[in-house]
A = this chain, B = another copy of it.
Amino acid sequence: MDFTFSEDEQAFRAEAAQWLSANIPAPGSLGSLDTKEGFEKHRAFERLMFENHWSVVSWPEEFGGRDVGIIEWLIFEEEYYKAGGPKRVSQNGIFLLAPTLFDFGTDAQRARFLPPMASGDEIWCQGWSEPDSGSDLASLRSSATRVDGGWTLNGQKTWASRGAFAEWCFGLFRSDPEQERHRGLTYFLIDMESEGITRRPIAQLDGETGFAEIFFDDVFVPDAQVLGDVGQGWAVAMATAGSERGLSLRSPARFSEAVKRLYELLIEREGEPSAPLTRLADQTAQAYCNAQAYELQTWWTATSIREGNGVGPEASATKIFWSEMDLHIHQTALEILGPNAALRERDGSLSDWLDGFLFSLAGPIYAGTNQIQRNVVAERLLGMPRK
């Protein structure tokens, strides 16, 4: 056990911090990811990061990364959130698809897809859920039919974040109609400009179009865009499912930075906390301890991953923890703000805390509801009976 950062790690941190402090755009200046204009501004920042090799630090250099390990990736994330970095418009691609491409893609696929993914030139959206397949992903019905040189896709996907503007989509389709549930699915990479694709943006609670429904009407996808083996889509998708539940989408710095702001908000309302704490100060202390615990558990997991262990069902525990912590942080902030919390700004926009609260409400729902994750923890970490 050693919590000291090596000289290399410290140098990496310093370099990242320096570049980020000089280049991170002013807060709010990129606008909302969910508008076309904001989307393009975010994309431009991704390109700037890519050009300076900060977009995907843990990737091999040939694809635009720095070939550093998971520890350095976490260091980068810490500095990114400390510097107030914006949401990553490319996150579906670089965090959710890329690990699968590295594990299951062909050399040609990696060469074709990874660099524009990292540069933001091609933004990806996810095509997992269908209207009748939310938590029960294995029930999906969108189909892939064998045709000459590829497949024809039909059906409907939903909850595709970034789906309103993305260039590419990755998703699972039923390639063998005879098979049920987890069998007979294939993983496809789909050009969103293909003929037969219609997208319908879906507005969220905040009125902005966070996701889209995607309709597939005889969409042709060539064989070169099948990821992994035909019929093995479930295994391919699940091999890296831990990425979404676990640390890659929710690096600890996001929460520790949020807790610092929460503490400032508390002091504004109640002054410096002193013992015995008030209820709101105690809730803030809970948020603080949870964020610290999450950071430490992340280093623990990262060490384990670096030493060759995969991400197991612990990722379900992680997903439960961060999503409920995020909700708790934002609920506490709204309580501190009191009756003004539910107001909009004069221009009709949402305050950062209210916006964050609405976003945090989605946490226990997406990437497998927390109900499903608790089943996984009980069955796979504790060996409780399935039925």
| A residues at B contact (CB < 8 Å) | 270, 276-280, 282
Contacts and interface: CB of A to CB of B under 8 A. Distances in A.
Contacts of A277: 278-279
Contacts of A270: 276
11 contacts: A270-B276, A276-B278, A276-B279, A276-B280, A277-B278, A277-B279, A278-B278, A278-B279, A278-B282, A279-B279, A279-B282
Given A276-B278, A277-B278, 4 more contacts: A270-B276, A278-B282, A279-B279, A279-B282
Contacts of A278: 276-279, 282
A75 to B, nearest CB: 36
Contacts of A279: 276-279, 282
Nearest to A278: B276
A384 to B, nearest CB: 15
A125 B263 CA distance: 56
A282 B280 CA distance: 10
Nearest to A279: B282
The 10 closest A-B pairs by CB, nearest first: A279-B282, A276-B278, A279-B279, A278-B278, A277-B279, A270-B276, A277-B278, A276-B280, A276-B279, A278-B279
Contacts of A282: 278-279
Task: Report which residue of A270, A277, A278 has the largest number of chain B beta carbons within 10 angstroms of its beta carbon.
Answer: A278
A309 to B, nearest CB: 36
A57 B279 CA distance: 44
A165 to B, nearest CB: 40
Contacts of A276: 270, 278-280
A339 to B, nearest CB: 15
Nearest to A285: B279
A277 B278 CA distance: 5
A241 to B, nearest CB: 29
A279 B282 CA distance: 7
A330 B374 CA distance: 29
A282 B281 CA distance: 12
A277 B277 CA distance: 9
A270 B279 CA distance: 14
A263 to B, nearest CB: 16
A337 to B, nearest CB: 14
A282 B277 CA distance: 11
A207 to B, nearest CB: 31
Nearest to A282: B279
Task: Report which residue of A270, A278, A279, A280 has the largest number of chain B beta carbons within 10 angstroms of its beta carbon.
Answer: A279
Nearest to A286: B279
A365 B145 CA distance: 55
A52 B276 CA distance: 50
A328 to B, nearest CB: 15
Nearest to A269: B276
A280 B278 CA distance: 8
A278 B280 CA distance: 8
A168 to B, nearest CB: 40
Nearest to A270: B276
Nearest to A275: B278
